Amino acid sequence: MGRGDEALGRIRDNPFYVLGLRPAATRMEVEREGQKLLGMLELKLKSAGTYATPVGPGERTPDKVRRAMAELRDPEKRLGHELWARLTPDSGEEPERSGTRRVTALEAAELAEEAELEAMAAEAAAEARAREGENPLAPWPEALQALGWAAGRSAR
């Protein structure tokens, strides 16, 4: 399980996503954006606290931003990250900060002929949970209590 999370982390913590940039960003843009995000995080601005990725939002920390900047400064490493960041995060429902909107809007114009890969965000997790009651194979969480293997309430 730990390794699965790590694998997702590779995509989620991709420096480009952390910085809210696309692989085409210049070196100076990387520095500027990083510097700005570090400042925003220092000021504890909520808008800087999360970022969008194709595998769900990530939590942005100064540490991650610094590491992202360092990774992108090294051309060899940057090339690898560019490959992993091929997916443009679809941030339709994510509240966007004014700063990155400029970049993504620019990108959006460029990528006009983009095709959608899979029906995105069709099944929100909440919706799925609502239907869970109908799923015959859903767990029976109270089984242990019901069958006398645990008392109902905890004495904590």
Partner 1 sequence: MLLLVVLAVLLVVFAPWLITRWVLIPLGLPRFAYYMATLADWTFLADRRGGAVLAGAWALCRRPAGDEALAGWLERKLLGVEKPGPEGEALQVAWLVARALMALRRGDLRRLRMLFEVQELSTGFETLRGAGIGAMGLLAAYRGDLAGARALLESLEHVDARACPRLAGEVALRWLAADAAARGAWSEVSALCAVGWRGGRDVALLGAVAARLLDAEGAPGDVGLWARWLLAPRRRATLALVQRALRPRLERGPQVEAPKVRGVVREGDRWGHAVALHAALLLRGEGGVNGEDLRRLGGAWDAVFEDEAARAEVEERARAIGASGAQAAIEGLRSSAVEDLVALVQAARIPHEQWDDLGEMLRRANRQLRSDLLAELELTVERLRRRVDEARALPAIDEWREWIALKGRYEQAAALVGMELRRLSFPRMNVEVCHLAVWLFNVRGQRALANAMFRWLLAEAEAVGDERAAARARDNLACGV
Partner 2 sequence: MSGKPLYVGIDLGTTNSTAAVFDGDQVSLVRNAQGSSLTPSVVRIDGKGTVSVGGRARRFLETDPQNTRSEFKRLMGTAQEIPFAAAKLTRKPEALAAEVLKSLRADVAEQFGVAPSRAVISVPALFEVPQSAATSEAARLAGFERVELIQEPVASALATGWSAEEQVGSWLVYDLGGGTFDASLLETRDGLLRVVGHDGDNFLGGRDFDWAVVDWALAEVGRAHGVSLSRAEAAHAAGVRKLKLAVEEAKIELTRGREALLSLAGVFEVGGRSIDVDLSLDRVTLEALCAPIVDRSIEVCRRLLTAHGLSPAQLARVVLVGGPTVMPVVRARVKEALGAPFGEGLDPMTLVAQGAALYAATAGLDARAQAESGGAGGAGSGAVQKLWLQYPAMTSDLLPHVIGRRVDDGAKGGRAGGKDALAAVKLVRGDGQWESVEGPLDEEGAFVVSAELLPRRPNVFRLEGRSAEGTKVEVQPAAITIVQGLTISDPPLSRTIGVALADNAVRVYFERGAPLPAKRTFVHQTVESVARGSGGHLLKIPVVQGEMEQAHLCRVVGTLEIKGDGLKASLPAGSSVELTLELDRGGHLSARALIPAQGLVFEQVAHLLVPDAAVEVLTASLGAMRTRLAALKIDAVKRDDPHAVGKLTYVECTLPEVERDIAAAKGGDADAGQKARRSLLDLDAMLEQAEGDKRWPELSKEAQVAVAAASRWVGELGSKTEKQLLGEAAEAVARARAERNLLELQRQLRLVHSLSNAAFYRHPDAWTWMFDEAASEVDQSSDLVKAQRLVREGRQAQEKGDKAALRAVTEQLWKLMPVDVQKRRLGHDSGVR
43/125 with CB nearer partner 2: 43
Phi-psi region of 44 (alpha: psi -120 to 50; beta: other; left: phi over 0): left
Partnered with residue 85 across adjacent β-strands are none
Q: Name the site residues for partner 2 (rule: CB under 8 A).
A: 2, 27-28, 31-32, 34-36, 38-40, 42-47, 63, 66-67, 69-70, 73-74, 98-99
Q: 33: which 2 tokens? A: 């954006």
Distance CA 47, CA 69 (A): 19
22/64 with CB nearer partner 1: 22
Distance CA 82, CA 24 (A): 8
Closest approach of partner 2 to the CB of residue 83, in Å: 19
54/73 with CB nearer partner 2: 73
43/137 with CB nearer partner 1: 137
111, 86 contact by CB (below 8 A):
no
**Residue 58 phi/psi, 5° resolution?**
-115, 160
Closest approach of partner 2 to the CB of residue 27, in Å: 5
Candidates 28, 43, 109, 119: give the one binding partner 1 (CB under 8 A): 119
6/59 with CB nearer partner 1: 6
14: number of Cβ within 10 Å: 26
Distance CA 121, CA 12 (A): 17
Which positions touch partner 1 (CB under 8 A)? 1, 3-4, 6-8, 10-11, 52-56, 75-76, 78-80, 82-84, 86-90, 92, 111, 113-123, 125, 128, 131-132, 134-151, 153-156
